[in-house]
Amino acid sequence: MKTNLYWDEFAEALVTRMIQPSKGDAFLILANTSTNQELAQACHAAGLRAGADTQLMIYERIPWGEAAHFGPIILDAIRASRLILGFHSNFLRTDAAREALAQGTKILSTEPWDMEEFLVSGFLDVNYDAMIHNGQIVAKLWDKAKECVVISDDGTDIRFDLATRPISLDDGKLTEDGELDYFPGVQVTIAPVEETINGRIVVDTSDDVQGILRKPYSMEIENGIITDVKGGLEAIKMRRWIETRNDEKIKRLCHFTIGLNPKAQITPNLMEGERILGCVTFGFGSQPQKLDGTIGLSPYHMDVLVTSPTVYLDGEVMCDKNELNSTLGFVEI
Segment holding 200, helix H or strand E: strand 198-203
Q: What is residue 290's predicted lDDT score, i.e. its pLDDT?
A: 87
Average pLDDT of span 239-249: 95
Average pLDDT of span 182-211: 96
| 18-38 pLDDT per residue, tens | 999 999 999 999 999 989 999
The ranges assigned to domains in the chain are 2-113, 126-328
The overall average pLDDT reported for the chain is 94
- First-to-last alpha carbon distance for the chain, in angstroms, is 26
Segment holding 48, helix H or strand E: helix 37-49
Closest CA to 224 of 281, 283, 306: 283
pLDDT greater than 60 at residue 4: no
pLDDT greater than 90 at residue 1: no
Give yes or no for a cis peptide into 184 (omega within 30° of 0). yes
Question: How does DSSP assign 21-37, residue by residue?
Answer: PPTT-EEEEEEETTS-H
Residue 50: CB atoms within 10 A of its CB come to 18
Contact by Cβ (8 Å): 255, 287: yes
pLDDT greater than 70 at residue 204: yes
pLDDT greater than 70 at residue 302: yes
Question: How does DSSP assign 243-269, residue by residue?
Answer: HHH--GGGGBEEEEEEE-BTT----SS
CATH topology of domain 2-113: Thermophilic metalloprotease-like (3.40.1830)
pLDDT greater than 70 at residue 66: no
Residue type, 303: D
| 74-97 pLDDT per residue, tens | 999 999 999 999 998 888 878 999
Q: What is residue 5's predicted lDDT score, i.e. its pLDDT?
A: 54
Rounded CA separation 44/58 (Å) = 12
